[in-house]
């Protein structure tokens, strides 16, 4: 059994062989454990399984936290919906138990099945390593233990676990891998399951090494200096830290992010799952929400002004009826200090405002006419005259314009990605 964190551990117990063996093994090892059982209420007789788990916990003297589903299943596949509800319950149970970790009973067989599923779908290094031994509060102590060893362990103790009929239903991809694909591979190449397991362990070591190399401040220059696997891991970490699922990026998305690391103009980015967007401005890169517009427009503060040096305000002609709105097609203005009229789109591009922020950038209009792009430009025809009383117009909160100076790296020009 793999090393576990110290302190109290909550064991997720379905009643099946693996979780039953894990609970007994941890109890015999003298660990401070509690059990958690979630009844999905998907099959007739599922309440009997809960009673069986309760009986086991009573014999072991272990506190059991249990819950039966009382809400509709989320939309999507049955397995994904059940998993969502189960993990929600485990989080509640962990808090109730005061446990620092939740132990899951995935075995070496489960890891190999996951690797084969990822290979069938097409995967990179992260997919080939299978499920991690630890992610957040969740630990998997049995990833080096085979199901044959689990059954021998239970037989020695005279324990008869619950056998879930769903484990025989070939409509599930994992069951097809378990019952058809892996046995066929074993017949042709005996021992291939253990070789898959060893390869997954090696992939884990390689990816962990790449992740260690990728720790630290995230800048374009640093990623350019990394090996490609380490740079890919750094970008995945950046995505996960912004709230993205892990794993949640395809090889195509990671490749598009890597292409943007080379020199190029501002406003570039890649849309990612979960309403997130990867962007680079100068030497800085980040993953931000692609839903940027605030639910309520900023507040305008207007007063008379005889002339001041406030660069965060606009000085407009008196008497204008002003309001805040957002961009729409066809907006143009004649920027103060420039020549001729310009499209709002071009003003944003020149200022290197990332694409995902442009729809949410508040604008000040005088009637239907664009008067002020806060932080970027004032319409010359509506600007107040120097030395004459004007309207001092400020905005709270004020949008922050990107830095005007962009770090230039002496590197070969990279292929251009999404530059919209």
pLDDT of residue 420: 31
Backbone angles phi, psi at 308, to 5 degrees: -145, 175
pLDDT of residue 235: 86
Give the count of beta carbons closer than 10 Å to the beta carbon of residue 94.
Answer: 22
- Give pLDDT tens digits along the chain (420 positions): 666 778 999 999 999 999 999 999 999 999 999 999 999 998 888 999 999 999 999 999 999 999 999 988 888 788 888 999 999 999 999 999 999 999 999 999 999 999 999 888 777 666 777 788 888 899 999 999 999 999 999 999 999 999 988 888 898 899 999 999 999 999 999 999 999 999 999 888 877 776 676 666 678 888 888 888 778 878 888 887 777 776 678 888 888 888 888 765 544 678 888 778 888 776 777 887 765 555 566 889 999 987 787 888 999 999 999 999 888 878 999 999 888 899 998 999 888 887 767 878 899 999 989 999 998 999 999 998 877 888 999 988 887 765 443 322 223 333 333 333
pLDDT of residue 155: 96
Peptide bond into 397 cis (omega under 30): yes
Q: What is the DSSP string of 117-156?
A: HHHHH---HHHHT-S-SEETTEE-TTTT--HHHHHHHHHH
CA distance 152 to 144: 15
pLDDT of residue 226: 83
pLDDT of residue 418: 38
Instruction: Give me Rg for the CA atoms of the chain.
Output: 29
pLDDT of residue 1: 64
Question: Nearest-CA neighbor of 141 among 105, 89, 170, 194?
Answer: 105
CA distance 353 to 375: 11
- What are the structure tokens assigned to 185, written together? 């591979």
Give the count of beta carbons closer than 10 Å to the beta carbon of residue 262.
Answer: 17
pLDDT of residue 36: 98
Give the count of beta carbons closer than 10 Å to the beta carbon of residue 308.
Answer: 10
The CATH 3.30.465.60 domain(s) of the chain lie at 215-289
Pair 90, 12: CB distance under 8 Å: yes
9-198 CATH choice from 3.30.2320.50, 1.10.230.10, 3.40.50.620, 3.40.50.300: 3.40.50.620
CATH of domain 215-289: 3.30.465.60
Question: Nearest-CA neighbor of 23 among 38, 37, 34?
Answer: 34
Q: What is the pTM of this model?
A: 0.60
Instruction: Measure the CA dihedral 5/10/15/19, to 10°.
Output: 0
Backbone angles phi, psi at 115, to 5 degrees: -60, -45
pLDDT of residue 366: 93
The CATH 3.40.50.620 domain(s) of the chain lie at 9-198
């Amino acid at each position: 059994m793999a090393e576990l964190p110290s302190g109290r551990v909550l064991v997720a117990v379905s009643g099946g062989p693996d979780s039953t063996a894990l609970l007994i093994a941890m109890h015999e090892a003298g660990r401070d454990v509690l059990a958690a059982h979630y009844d999905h209420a998907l099959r007739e007789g599922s309440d009997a399984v809960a009673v069986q788990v309760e009986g086991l916990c009573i014999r072991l003297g272990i506190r059991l936290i249990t819950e039966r589903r009382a809400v509709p299943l989320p939309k999507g596949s049955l397995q994904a919906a059940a998993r969502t509800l189960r993990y929600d319950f485990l989080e509640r149970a962990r808090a109730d138990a005061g446990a620092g970790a939740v132990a899951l009973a995935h075995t070496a067989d489960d890891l190999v099945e996951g690797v084969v599923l990822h290979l069938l779908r097409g995967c990179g290094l992260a997919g080939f390593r299978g499920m991690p031994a630890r992610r957040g509060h969740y630990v998997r102590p049995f990833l080096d233990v085979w199901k044959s060893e689990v059954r021998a362990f239970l037989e020695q103790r005279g324990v008869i676990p619950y056998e879930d009929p769903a484990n025989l239903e070939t409509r599930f991809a994992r069951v097809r891998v378990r019952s058809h694909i892996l046995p066929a591979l074993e017949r042709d190449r005996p021992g291939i399951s253990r070789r898959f397991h060893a390869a997954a362990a090696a992939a884990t070591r390689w990816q962990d090494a790449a992740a260690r190399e990728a720790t630290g401040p995230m800048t374009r220059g640093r990623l350019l200096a990394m090996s490609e696997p380490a740079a890919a891991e750094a970008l995945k970490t950046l995505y996960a830290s912004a709230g993205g699922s892990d794993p949640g990026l395809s090889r195509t998305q990671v490749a598009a992010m890597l292409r943007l690391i080379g020199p190029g103009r501002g406003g570039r980015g890649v849309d990612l799952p979960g309403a997130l967007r990867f962007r680079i401005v100068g030497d800085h890169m980040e993953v931000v929400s692609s839903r940027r517009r605030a639910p309520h427009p900023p507040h305008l503060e207007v007063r008379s002004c005889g002339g001041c040096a406030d660069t965060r305000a606009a000085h407009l002609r008196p008497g204008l009826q002003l309001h805040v709105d957002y961009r729409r097609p066809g907006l143009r203005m004649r920027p103060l200090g420039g020549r001729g009229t310009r499209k709002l789109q071009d003003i944003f591009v020149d200022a290197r405002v990332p694409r995902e922020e442009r729809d949410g950038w508040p604008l000040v209009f005088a009637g239907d006419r664009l008067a002020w792009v806060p932080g970027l430009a004032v319409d010359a025809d509506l600007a107040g005259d120097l030395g004459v009383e004007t309207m001092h117009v400020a905005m709270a909160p004020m949008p922050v314009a990107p830095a005007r100076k962009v770090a230039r790296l002496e590197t070969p020009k990279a292929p251009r990605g999404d530059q919209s």
